């Protein structure tokens, strides 16, 4: 008799006819997983698998990566450029020359009439680094508008600003390997298991070998909070108060690292004086975490041989986003936890190339972490590009969140959107819609023709997606990963690099500057421009990156590989080499729940969807997990309002309203609801988005709403369907 497996039908993998596996890097989140796409005999991508010897993911992929190859031929991919002179007319198909000639001519017309800065460019964190560098050259060196920014203002701006204020430069100092060395991990406003599943898997792997405490600070009982040893369900927007209080306890109890503070920081006295006011009793009344827990956490963190902090949008997307980051950096500085294995302050980035744009796009300055405000930086880049340094503005122009109000007031008349969908992703979308209607020119450059912004556009430029072109992405741990072209671009869509180069040719100054055609040649310019700097690419090449499955910068000319950590010598990027301890007084300026709008509205993401669903909404195997706009609501709160599980409810804020399906869950407290922001005409109709004073990042996660049971469930269902878009 046969037992066990031999009596069962063996599991058979579907034969997809793969004839070749091609190496590339995932194009969704900033984890940076190496992925192999299975190509069939017709050259189509038909399967995917993780790359076993890749340091980041070691063969794993999350659900988005597994089905990512389906994007290449998904519904409504842009096939050909579209144009119309007036928004009330339908689009007509056109060829590239006409679309680009028209776009360039309109940009010139508007600039001549209203000035150079009257045309704004808003880009992304989702194109290749070579494309970012080239767009920067075009925007700063040719078109010359200072109103050039990216969607990273919605995402990483607070982390950038906080790193600069604390350390004198941007650049996350740690790496995933720190999980294997740390003795305590504290996570602020990050839902790692859903948003960075493979980084989370790395953490779980480290925990299996050696237990260390996990502390999660999040107002929701997220998946991460559920596995934490200590969960701090903080009152929204008050992390700075908690951080000040942790520092208070650490200093009061003499648990700080006086030698490190003395040798590597400035400002300790003023810092200590400020945190003196944040005793745990007073702090607990503001941040909602009891005094004993604050003391306990402070002791655990400070006494650990090595302790690390990670954070994501729960910190960055706040009116105190930049301060929150500075507070986290200071916690690590006063405990001597920067630049050592397991001791770090690591911002978990968002989009696949949110780091690449910070490094090379020139959005907030000039390439390679250079600043417009520094004369030498302006001169160096002008000399390298062969233009007059006076062409550059002497300080940064408007951030994305200030560009839209400037369209409203008529300062800006033309807008070029590259790989971003502000109609769904910006706060207060009713206002954004009106704003876009005022434009004389809107160019939408996107991989999908149905991205909501095309409704307001004059020109649509169809772009190739990640695996249809070649170049690099930088991930959360500064690892530069190679994206190889695994299939040809869909239809007549083109790589963004090609589009920028073609646009440059249509400007007189663009014909004077060198715009290399191949990504490898562009990469060479980046290598030269970064040589000898902290952000050093000079030891990298495309082939070397592929052979090592990603290399961390800095990687200097002659280096075998990259450096896992920054600031290992305790020398920071301020002129005196010291990091700054900055006092952070807390001002409570959020819209808070009150009698009329009694609930906190919190928003974020779920594992199966990416952002505005232009991509994951088209993939059945991911879309089916949450095809409908919904909210998490506490059962007790729902009962009081007579709202039942799986019925529709209406939310109302001071900006607008939205219909969602109700999911009752204890994950949210009774005074809060949580809505994934992936759906059009949903959470951002309600959000306020007050801005952080340093980073200009919106507080997406803190505003107030009221909730009503929808009287007519049929009408509500119809409204809910409308918000799904596809």
Ligand X SMILES: Nc1nc2c(c(=O)[nH]1)N[C@H]1C(S)=C(S)[C@@H](COP(=O)(O)OP(=O)(O)OC[C@H]3O[C@@H](n4cnc5c(=O)[nH]c(N)nc54)[C@H](O)[C@@H]3O)O[C@H]1N2
29 Cβ contact partners less than 8 Å away, ≥ 6 residues apart: 64, 195, 196, 350, 351, 352, 610
Partner from ligand X, Mo ion, ligand SF4, none contacting 436, C-beta within 5 to 8 A by type = none
Cα 195 → chain centroid: 11
Largest CA distance in the chain: 88
For residues 297-356, which are near ligand X according to CB under 6 A? 312-314, 317-318, 350-351
The binding track of 18-47 with respect to ligand SF4, each residue x by CB under 6 A or -, is --------x-xx-xxx--------------
466 Cβ contact partners less than 8 Å away, ≥ 6 residues apart: 24, 25, 26, 27, 126, 128, 352, 483
Tell which one of 118, 145, 146, 222 touches ligand X (CB under 6 A).
Answer: 222
Tell which one of 39, 46, 62, 138 touches ligand SF4 (CB under 6 A).
Answer: 62
Partner from Mo ion, ligand SF4, ligand X, none contacting 466, C-beta within 5 to 8 A by type = ligand X
Residue closer to Mo ion by CB (options 193, 554) is 193
3-state secondary structure 612-653: CCCCHHHCHHHHCCCCCCEEEECHHHHHHHCCCCCCEEEEEC
Residues touching Mo ion, count (CB under 5 A): 2
Tell which one of 701, 703, 705, 707 touches ligand X (CB under 6 A).
Answer: 701
Partner from ligand X, Mo ion, ligand SF4, none contacting 218, C-beta within 5 to 8 A by type = ligand X
Tell which one of 611, 618, 680, 685 touches ligand X (CB under 6 A).
Answer: 611
Task: State both tokens at 128.
Answer: 């290749």
Binding status of residue 65 toward ligand SF4 by CB under 6 A: yes
Q: Which residue has the tokens 């002008």?
A: 382
User: What's the min distance (Å) between Cβ of 605 and Mo ion?
Assistant: 9
Binding status of residue 136 toward ligand SF4 by CB under 6 A: no
Q: Is residue 7 helix, strand or coil?
A: helix
Binding status of residue 29 toward ligand X by CB under 6 A: yes
Tell which one of 677, 685, 690, 723 touches ligand X (CB under 6 A).
Answer: 677
Q: Give CA–CA dist 726/77, Å, rounded.
A: 13
Task: State both tokens at 673.
Answer: 């609801």
Residue 559, Cβ density class (10 Å: 0-12 exposed, 13-18 middle, ≥19 buried): middle
Residue closer to ligand SF4 by CB (options 26, 417) is 26
Q: Is residue 18 helix, strand or coil?
A: strand
Residue closer to Mo ion by CB (options 45, 350) is 350
For residues 488-547, which are near ligand X according to CB under 6 A? 496
Which residue, 22, 21, 18, is CA-closest to 470?
22
Strand segments (E) across 119-229: 119-123, 148-150, 184-188, 214-217
State which H helix or E strand residue 141 sits in: none
Task: State both tokens at 709.
Answer: 């049971």
User: What's the min distance (Å) between Cβ of 32 and ligand SF4?
Assistant: 6
Q: Give CA–CA dist 337/698, Å, rounded.
A: 29
Tell which one of 120, 139, 143, 154 touches ligand X (CB under 6 A).
Answer: 154
Q: Give CA–CA dist 349/476, Å, rounded.
A: 5
The binding track of 150-189 with respect to ligand SF4, each residue x by CB under 6 A or -, is ----------------------------------------
Q: Give CA–CA dist 318/523, Å, rounded.
A: 35
172 Cβ contact partners less than 8 Å away, ≥ 6 residues apart: 159, 163, 345, 346, 347, 349, 355, 476, 477, 478, 566
Tell which one of 197, 236, 350, 489 touches Mo ion (CB under 5 A).
Answer: 350
Q: Give CA–CA dist 611/615, Å, rounded.
A: 9
Q: Is residue 702 helix, strand or coil?
A: coil
Residue closer to Mo ion by CB (options 350, 368) is 350
- Residue 177 backbone zone (phi > 0: left; psi -120 to 50: alpha; other: beta): alpha
Tell which one of 174, 197, 324, 676 touches ligand SF4 (CB under 6 A).
Answer: 197
User: What's the min distance (Å) between Cβ of 72 and ligand SF4?
Assistant: 15
The binding track of 73-112 with respect to ligand X, each residue x by CB under 6 A or -, is ----------------------------------------
For residues 151-190, which are near Mo ion according to CB under 5 A? 155
Residue 544, Cβ density class (10 Å: 0-12 exposed, 13-18 middle, ≥19 buried): middle
Binding status of residue 447 toward ligand X by CB under 6 A: yes
Partner from ligand X, ligand SF4, Mo ion, none contacting 555, C-beta within 5 to 8 A by type = none
Binding status of residue 356 toward Mo ion by CB under 5 A: no
Tell which one of 103, 684, 695, 720 touches ligand X (CB under 6 A).
Answer: 684
Binding interface with Mo ion (CB under 5 A)? 155, 350
Binding interface with ligand SF4 (CB under 6 A)? 26, 28-29, 31-33, 57, 61-62, 64-65, 196-198
Binding interface with ligand X (CB under 6 A)? 29, 124, 126-127, 151, 154-155, 188-191, 194-196, 217-220, 222, 234, 236-237, 239, 312-314, 317-318, 350-351, 418-422, 425, 445-448, 451, 463, 465-466, 496, 602-605, 607, 609-612, 614-615, 677, 683-684, 687, 700-701
């Amino acid at each position: 008799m046969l037992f066990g497996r031999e009596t069962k039908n063996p599991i058979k993998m579907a034969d997809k006819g793969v004839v070749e596996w091609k190496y590339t890097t995932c194009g969704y989140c900033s984890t940076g997983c190496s992925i192999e796409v299975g190509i069939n005999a017709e050259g189509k991508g038909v399967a995917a698998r993780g790359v076993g010897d890749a340091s980041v993911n070691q063969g794993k992929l999350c659900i988005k990566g597994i089905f990512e190859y389906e994007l290449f031929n998904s519904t409504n991919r842009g096939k050909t450029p579209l144009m119309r002179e007036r928004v009330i007319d339908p689009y007509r198909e056109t060829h590239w020359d006409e679309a680009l000639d028209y776009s360039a001519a309109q940009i010139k017309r508007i600039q001549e009439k209203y000035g150079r800065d009257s045309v704004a460019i808003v880009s992304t964190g989702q194109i290749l680094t070579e494309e970012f560098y080239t767009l920067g050259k075009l925007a700063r060196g040719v078109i010359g508008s200072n109103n050039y920014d990216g969607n990273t203002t919605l995402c990483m701006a607070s982390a950038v600003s906080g790193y600069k204020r604390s350390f004198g430069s941007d650049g996350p100092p740690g790496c995933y390997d720190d999980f294997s060395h740390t003795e305590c991990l504290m996570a602020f406003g990050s839902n790692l298991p859903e948003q960075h599943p493979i980084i989370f898997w790395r953490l779980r792997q480290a925990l299996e070998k050696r237990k260390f405490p996990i502390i999660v600070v999040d107002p929701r009982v997220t998946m991460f909070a559920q596995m934490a040893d200590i969960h701090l369900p903080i009152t929204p927007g008050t992390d700075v108060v908690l951080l000040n209080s942790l520092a208070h306890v650490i200093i009061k109890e003499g648990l700080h690292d006086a030698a490190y503070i003395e040798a590597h920081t400035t400002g300790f006295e003023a810092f200590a004086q400020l945190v003196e006011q944040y005793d745990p009793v007073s702090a607990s009344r503001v941040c909602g975490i009891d005094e004993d827990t604050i003391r306990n956490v402070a002791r655990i963190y400070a006494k650990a041989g090595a302790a690390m902090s990670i954070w994501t949008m729960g910190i960055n997307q706040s009116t105190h986003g930049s301060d929150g980051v500075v507070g986290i950096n200071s916690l690590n500085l006063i405990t001597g936890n920067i630049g050592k294995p397991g001791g770090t302050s690591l911002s978990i980035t968002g989009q696949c190339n949110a780091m690449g744009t910070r490094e090379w796009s020139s959005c907030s300055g000039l390439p390679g972490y250079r600043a417009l405000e520094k004369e030498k930086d302006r001169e160096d880049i002008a000399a390298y590009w062969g233009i007059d340094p006076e062409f550059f503005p002497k300080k940064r122009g408007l951030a994305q969140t200030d560009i839209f109000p400037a369209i409203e007031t008529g300062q800006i008349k033309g807008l070029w959107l590259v790989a971003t969908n502000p109609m769904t992703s910006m706060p207060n979308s009713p206002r954004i819609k009106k704003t876009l209607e005022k434009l004389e020119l809107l160019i939408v450059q996107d991989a999908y023709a149905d991205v909501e912004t095309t409704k307001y556009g004059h020109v649509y430029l169809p772009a190739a997606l990640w695996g249809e072109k070649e170049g690099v992405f930088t991930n959360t741990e500064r690892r530069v990963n190679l994206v190889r072209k695994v299939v040809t671009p869909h239809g007549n869509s083109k790589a963004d690099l090609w589009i920028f180069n073609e646009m440059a040719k249509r400007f007189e100054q663009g014909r004077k500057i060198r715009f290399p055609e191949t990504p490898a040649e562009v990469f060479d310019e980046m290598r030269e421009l970064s040589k000898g700097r902290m952000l050093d690419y000079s030891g990298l090449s495309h082939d070397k990156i592929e052979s090592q499955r990603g290399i961390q910068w800095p990687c200097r000319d002659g280096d075998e590989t990259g450096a896992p950590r920054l600031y290992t010598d305790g020398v920071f990027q301020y002129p005196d080499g010291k990091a700054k301890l900055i006092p952070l007084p807390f001002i409570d300026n959020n819209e808070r729940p009150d009698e009329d709008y009694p609930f906190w509205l919190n928003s974020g993401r779920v594992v199966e969807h990416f952002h505005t669903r232009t991509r994951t909404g088209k993939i059945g195997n991911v879309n089916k997990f949450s095809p409908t706009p919904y909210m998490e609501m506490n059962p007790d709160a729902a009962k009081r309002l007579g709202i039942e599980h799986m019925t529709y409810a209406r939310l109302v804020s001071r900006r607008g309203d939205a219909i969602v399906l109700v999911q009752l869950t204890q994950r949210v407290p009774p005074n809060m609801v949580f809505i994934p922001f992936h759906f059009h005409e949903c959470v951002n109709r309600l959000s306020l988005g007050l801005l952080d004073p340093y980073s200009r990042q919106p507080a997406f996660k803190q505003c107030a709403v009221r909730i009503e049971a929808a009287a007519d469930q049929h009408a509500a269902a119809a409204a809910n369907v409308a918000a799904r878009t596809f």
